[in-house]
Amino acid sequence: MVIAAFLFAALPAVAATAPQTMRVDYFHTGNAFEERFSLDGVVVEGPWPGPIDRWIDETNLGKYQFQVTDRRTNRQLYSRGFASVFGEWETTAEAKMMHRTYHESLRFPVPGEPFRLVLKKRDRQNAFREVWSIVIDPDDPTVDRTGQPLNPKYWAVMRYGEPRDKVDILLVGDGYTAGEMDKWRRDARRMADMLFAVSPFKERRKEFNIWALDTPADESGIARPSDRVYRRSPVRASYDAFGLDRYILTFDNKRLREIAAAAPYEFVGIIANDRKYGGGGIHNQYATVAADNAFASYIFVHEFGHHFAGLADEYYIASVAYETSGERIEPWEPNVTTDPQAERWKDLIAPGIPLPTPWPKEAFEDAEQEFQARRRRIRSQSRSEEEMEMLFREEQDRITNLLASAAHAGKVGSFEGAMYQAKGYYRPQVDCIMFTRNAVGFCAVCRRAIERVIDLYTNGKGP
């Protein structure tokens, strides 16, 4: 890809010096039927952490996409797909009754001349359509040029090279007091080890850097509103997002981005100092996990799959906040399809595999309905987290054995049941970390999707 020379104002050698990072903050307002956008501010952060030769996103991931376009030539200079908190909220029942505003940010290399920032959203046919645009002059005196914050400090959990040559993941602790900094550093290393114990991250470990920020909190833990626990933790992560007790998000994007600006990053993991089962993941925004839960390994890897590669949830029994329209539109997520013949991953299907692919679906649904009912009772009676974890272990053993007995276990096919729907959506394999808590890792289709994102940031060059 050719990069216009004017992008690098006052840079004598592009190969030797990275441009700075620009962050555009904006407000995303609306409901289930309409949305609007308004500029909050433009910030110049530290050096651009990504590659300087691969700026156009060809993965076709994300509910939204933004493009940076040169005003004079209309040449596309940078693009990335992403999802958002608003994009999830607009599918909830609440969004049909009221408006909300969410803060969002877009980050890209600072152009050398005025440019047009275009935001696009998928329509009902899954094509990207423009929903907002704005012209920005990098030399405008209102651009915030205070640079990277001096505090908090960041440190390397795992470093294999310069940020521009690696995928850079930033871990941010939330709910760790100054007296718990040693625990935070142990947890950060543990989360990195969990992620890189799973393929394909394991095999491509040396193509990553992992950074961590020390962000001491006034109180230990994060907010759990349904338990009447409230905290002003550094990045304001909280359980109960969209009314789901296990869903951890932060709705204070600006605070998160201002803190994260201290370090080089492309992906963010928020590590919550809490025990209750929970986590979350939004493509190209962040992933979250409760560090002290017995299933933290599963949660973090699963949620990071959402964040990193735009992977869809393949489960369909557990309760979710989102409402379905009844339409069967082919998802943009790479690991689910409406096509029972699974054309999008047919090259991975061995000859002789029936399509759609039979599996013990009825027995699985009966078992999961029982476990979900028991889970709801534990939560409604405010029983201990130990009891919930015992239930999850029982479920894990039973479901693992059931799915392993499937005639086509371990094979790629077209297995009905995915994306919160029992019928009409298909997943690639009978089991995957995007489907259950079983310790089987990512399926072949998910692994390929992850590797494609790694290649976008590292070009597959290795260490």
pLDDT of 23-76, one tens digit each? 999 999 999 999 999 999 999 999 999 998 889 999 999 999 999 999 999 999
* Amino acid (1-letter code) at residue 381: Q
Give the ranges where 205-295 is alpha helix by DSSP (H).
253-260
Question: Given a cut of 70, is residue 368 above it in pLDDT?
Answer: yes
Average pLDDT, the chain: 92
**Domain range list for the chain:** 5-136, 154-310, 343-438
What is the rounded distance in angstroms from the CA atom of residue 44 to the CA atom of residue 21? 6
What is the rounded distance in angstroms from the CA atom of residue 106 to the CA atom of residue 260? 13
What mean pLDDT comes out for the span 115-143? 96
**How high is the pLDDT of residue 283?**
98
What is the rounded distance in angstroms from the CA atom of residue 427 to the CA atom of residue 446? 10
What mean pLDDT comes out for the span 162-172? 96
What mean pLDDT comes out for the span 213-234? 97
Query: Among residues 259, 294, 253, 265, which one has the least CA distance to residue 277?
Result: 294
**300 and 294 in contact (C-beta within 8 Å)?**
no
Measured CA distances, 412 to 28, 47, 166, 256, 329 (Å): 39, 42, 30, 39, 22
DSSP 346: G
What is the rounded distance in angstroms from the CA atom of residue 107 to the CA atom of residue 105? 7
What is the rounded distance in angstroms from the CA atom of residue 209 to the CA atom of residue 342? 35
CATH topology of domain 5-136: Immunoglobulin-like (2.60.40)
What mean pLDDT comes out for the span 255-283? 97
Question: Given a cut of 80, is residue 460 above it in pLDDT?
Answer: no
**How high is the pLDDT of residue 150?**
72
**How high is the pLDDT of residue 6?**
31
**How high is the pLDDT of residue 141?**
96
CATH topology of domain 154-310: Collagenase (Catalytic Domain) (3.40.390)
Read off φ and ψ for residue 228, nearest 5 degrees: 60, 40
pTM of the model: 0.93
R_g of the chain, CA atoms, integer Å:
22
The position carrying tokens 């050096």 is 47
**81 and 62 in contact (C-beta within 8 Å)?**
yes
229 strand-pairing partners: 224
**111 and 8 in contact (C-beta within 8 Å)?**
no
Q: 394-430 pLDDT, tens per residue?
A: 999 999 999 999 999 999 999 999 999 999 999 999 9
- H-run or E-run covering 20: strand 20-30
What is the rounded distance in angstroms from the CA atom of residue 424 to the CA atom of residue 446? 20
The position carrying tokens 């689910």 is 336
Q: 297-329 pLDDT, tens per residue?
A: 999 999 999 999 999 999 998 766 655 666 788
**And the tokens for 270?**
């928020």
Q: 74-107 pLDDT, tens per residue?
A: 999 999 999 999 999 999 999 999 999 999 999 9
**213 and 152 in contact (C-beta within 8 Å)?**
yes
For 35, half-sphere exposure in the C-beta direction (CA atoms, 13 angstrom radius) is 23
What is the rounded distance in angstroms from the CA atom of residue 158 to the CA atom of residue 155? 9
